């Protein structure tokens, strides 16, 4: 729901981190995310043997971070359920608690974990900018916050799969498709969301960041739900009305449905945890991260139509699903009257001939060329914005941007 399904269906088994190589020339920090390697100048870095995978300063490798992140999840599940399991309430809710444990373990840890890992990495970068590493307690808190973001993602996806009548998620049946679950998955999604606030209370109740974090998760949840609402009222599956599609509506959906929770939330939570609570600092972060979220979604829309299924891991369905995608919005801005009629007759229909007609129309409008121009210009603009800001360590933003540029999945 709240983020295009293709983002999560194209799961990667592994994340790679940052490679630093010793050199006698100007030190270079190499960000290696998935299959993309981009070099960035760095004035000072502790350089190690070529091929070793390490992160800037004292940051752990991404492989180590992922292992550390996954290792604490069972502990957190136990901590979430402990208050009732260790009290007299157990006699009343034992079966429900067993079910919640199953819900959490089935739906939360199976994805790429990019948002949660980004939060932990951001926290470590922010600490390094202040001249220290995270304490043992702070490191645990950062890991917990990362799982709070992943729990939010799980909440969204369990509900989304019910609404979309999806069949599989992350290589296994959607939760509501599991025997004995069905529409109970709706309540299960609520339970997943509730666990976020249990963890926040457990780990941050005495922290100055507690109220900020509570408000942040509540606000971003609401924003994402508004984005889902916009998407549903704009492009219902049972009725095609292209008059509702516009650049303004598209940008609104993307901002609320994707950008806030996928890009701003992980960084903002890390900022509050490390004491970066000034409004100006958060506005500086939003000024870069929200456009980056739009950049990501436009890439996703492009790949849905033009991506190689052998690489992306899925066959695109935006055309037949009547999605208010970037491509159809661009097409509506370019078509003549005859082409517009072709769109109106064929878009949103799950018929091979209709899908082929729309693809041919996109090709005739040279939308692939339009996208390439957009991608290059947007990347350059984001680079300039990162260089111009001084409120936060630039590496936080370059971590995101280098992963996105020219991605093909």
Length of the chain: 409
Q: One of 1, 33, 69, 155 is an active-site residue; which one?
A: 155
Q: One of 16, 115, 169, 407 is an active-site residue; which one?
A: 169
Is 155 tagged catalytic? yes
CB-based contacts of 59, cutoff 8 Å, min separation 6: 17, 18, 65, 121, 124, 125, 128
Q: Report the 10 Å Cβ neighbour count for 172.
A: 12
Q: One of 231, 304, 318, 399 is an active-site residue; which one?
A: 231
135-142 contacts at long range (C-beta below 8 A, 24 or more positions apart): 138/273, 138/274, 140/72, 140/203, 141/203, 141/204, 141/207, 141/273, 142/270, 142/273
Is 301 tagged catalytic? yes
Rounded Cα gap, residues 89 and 105, in angstroms: 22
Q: One of 7, 160, 161, 318 is an active-site residue; which one?
A: 160
Is 350 tagged catalytic? no
Is 2 tagged catalytic? no
- DSSP result, 361-398: HHHHTTHHHHHHHHHHHHHHHHHHHHHH--SS-HHHHH
CB-based contacts of 348, cutoff 8 Å, min separation 6: 235, 240, 319, 320, 321, 322
For residues 227 and 249, is the Cβ–Cβ distance under 8 A? no
Is 257 tagged catalytic? yes
Give which of 15, 252, 5, 230 is closest to 116, Cα–Cα: 15
Q: One of 296, 362, 397, 405 is an active-site residue; which one?
A: 296
For residues 103 and 192, is the Cβ–Cβ distance under 8 A? yes
3-state secondary structure of 275: coil
Q: One of 102, 140, 164, 249 is an active-site residue; which one?
A: 164
Task: Give the tokens for residue 240.
Answer: 């095609």
Is 201 tagged catalytic? no
Is 363 tagged catalytic? no
Is 241 tagged catalytic? no
Q: One of 16, 115, 257, 407 is an active-site residue; which one?
A: 257
Q: One of 188, 300, 318, 399 is an active-site residue; which one?
A: 300
Q: Report the 10 Å Cβ neighbour count for 306.
A: 17
Catalytic sites, residue numbers: 112, 155, 160, 164, 169, 231, 257, 296, 300-301
């Amino acid at each position: 729901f709240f983020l295009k399904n293709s983002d999560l269906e194209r799961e990667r088994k592994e994340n790679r981190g940052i490679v630093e190589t010793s050199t006698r020339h100007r030190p270079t920090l190499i960000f290696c995310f998935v299959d993309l390697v981009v070099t960035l100048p760095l004035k000072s870095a502790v350089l190690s043997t070529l091929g070793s995978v390490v992160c800037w300063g004292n940051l752990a490798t991404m492989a180590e971070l992922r292992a550390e992140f996954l290792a604490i999840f069972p502990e957190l599940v136990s901590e979430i359920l402990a208050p009732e399991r260790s009290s007299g309430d157990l006699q009343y809710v034992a079966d429900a608690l067993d079910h919640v444990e199953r819900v959490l373990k089935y739906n939360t840890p199976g994805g790429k974990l990019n948002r949660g890992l980004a939060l932990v990495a951001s926290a470590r970068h922010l600490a390094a900018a202040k001249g220290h590493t995270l304490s043992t307690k702070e490191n645990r808190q950062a890991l917990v916050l990362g799982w709070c973001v992943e729990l939010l993602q799980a909440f969204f996806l369990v509900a989304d799969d019910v609404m979309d009548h999806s069949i599989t998620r992350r290589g296994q049946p959607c939760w509501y498709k599991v025997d004995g679950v069905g529409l109970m998955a709706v309540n299960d999604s609520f339970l997943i969301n509730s666990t976020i606030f249990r963890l926040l209370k457990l780990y941050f109740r005495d922290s100055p960041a507690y109220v900020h974090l509570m408000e942040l998760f509540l606000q971003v949840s609401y924003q994402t739900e508004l984005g889902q609402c916009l998407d549903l009222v704009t492009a219902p599956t049972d009725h095609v009305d292209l008059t509702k599609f516009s650049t303004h509506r598209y940008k609104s959906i993307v901002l609320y449905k994707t950008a806030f929770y996928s890009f701003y939330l992980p960084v903002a939570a890390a900022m509050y945890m490390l004491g970066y609570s000034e409004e100006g600092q958060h506005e500086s972060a939003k000024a870069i991260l929200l456009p980056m979220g739009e950049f990501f979604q436009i890439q996703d829309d492009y790949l849905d139509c033009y991506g190689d299924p052998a690489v992306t891991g899925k066959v695109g369905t935006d055309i037949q699903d009547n999605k208010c995608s970037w491509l159809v919005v661009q097409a509506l801005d370019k078509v003549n009257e005859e082409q517009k009629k072709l769109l109106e007759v064929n878009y949103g229909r799950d018929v091979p001939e209709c899908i082929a007609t729309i693809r041919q129309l996109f090709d005739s409008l040279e939308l692939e060329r339009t996208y390439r121009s957009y991608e290059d210009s947007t990347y350059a603009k984001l680079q300039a914005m990162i260089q111009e800001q001084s409120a936060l360590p630039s590496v936080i933003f370059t971590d995101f941007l280098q992963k996105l540029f020219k991605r093909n999945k």
